[in-house]
């Protein structure tokens, strides 16, 4: 089994974790959004030291590619790419929306039926979300995209029993539906990140360091500095 260094800075809470033989053996988190950049390097050093492990013993670097915080995604990916390049290790990129869907399956209070779809939603302000819909085997039904939600749009998306997860789901709880909708308030863990990373490792699905970038799902607007 391989050893993975996991970096997730897509949201308010950053995660740096070490996975080995299919289990998380070390994890540090940071809830101060604006200090993720300084947190990552120290956390990596502390986790490796705690496990008495050298960087060269890492088999792959795992990083969340988004969607999520613009700044957070840039910080996490820059660190992950730099380490993968320096150590000559593969980089495994994960979609935060797919990771959320995987978490929904684990957190569901009942078993997931084959006809159930999973709607991952991340708040993108106003009535917009970054969203994707998956089937019970995590194959995409609706590709990742920015969505503006209203009752009409909701009706077109909820065509079968649906499980909703992610902080964007709060915008949908006043909508009505002819199909059963279950809301899950939890989030994914480092173990879920590790599980999906192991699947990509087995299938040899690695990122190209020269071309991989954050998945923002929409353009980033930066206000010009005031003169």
- Cis before 27 (ω within 30): no
Provide the pLDDT for residue 126.
87
Per-residue pLDDT reduced to its tens digit, 4-49 = 999 999 999 999 999 999 999 999 999 987 888 899 999 999 999 9
Residue 30, beta-bridge partner list: 14
The C-alpha atoms of residue 201 and residue 116 are separated, in whole angstroms, by 27
| Helical segments of 30-69, H only | 36-50
Q: Delineate the domains of the chain, giving CATH numbers in brackets.
A: 3-95+188-203 (3.30.420.40), 97-184 (3.30.420.40)
Over residues 82-95, the mean pLDDT reads 98
Per-residue pLDDT reduced to its tens digit, 161-218 = 999 999 999 999 999 999 999 999 999 999 999 999 999 999 999 999 999 999 998 7
Residue 55 confidence (pLDDT) above 50:
yes
Confidence (pTM): 0.93
Residue 223 confidence (pLDDT) above 60:
no
The C-alpha atoms of residue 50 and residue 35 are separated, in whole angstroms, by 22
Average pLDDT, the chain: 93
DSSP 8-state class, residue 204 = T
The C-alpha atoms of residue 138 and residue 42 are separated, in whole angstroms, by 34
């Amino acid at each position: 089994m391989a050893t993975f260094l996991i970096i997730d800075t897509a949201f308010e809470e950053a995660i740096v974790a070490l996975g080995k033989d299919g289990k998380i053996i070390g994890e540090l988190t940071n809830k101060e959004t604006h200090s993720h950049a300084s947190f990552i390097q120290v956390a990596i050093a502390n986790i490796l030291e705690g496990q008495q492990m050298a960087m060269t013993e890492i088999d792959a670097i795992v990083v969340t590619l988004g969607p999520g915080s613009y700044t957070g995604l840039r910080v996490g990916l820059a660190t992950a790419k730099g380490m993968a390049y320096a150590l000559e290790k593969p980089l495994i990129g994960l979609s935060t929306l797919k990771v959320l869907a995987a978490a929904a399956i684990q957190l569901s209070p009942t078993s997931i039926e084959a006809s159930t779809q999973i709607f991952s939603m991340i708040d993108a302000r106003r009535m917009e979300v970054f969203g994707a819909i998956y089937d019970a085997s995590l194959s995409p039904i609706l590709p990742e995209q920015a969505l503006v939600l209203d009752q009409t749009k909701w009706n077109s998306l909820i065509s079968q029993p649906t499980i909703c997860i992610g902080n964007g789901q709060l915008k949908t709880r006043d909508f009505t539906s002819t199909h059963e909708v279950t809301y899950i308030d939890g989030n994914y863990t480092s173990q879920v990140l590790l599980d999906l990373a192991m699947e990509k490792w087995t299938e040899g699905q690695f990122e190209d360091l020269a071309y991989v970038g954050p998945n923002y799902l929409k353009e980033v607007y930066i206000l010009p500095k005031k003169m």
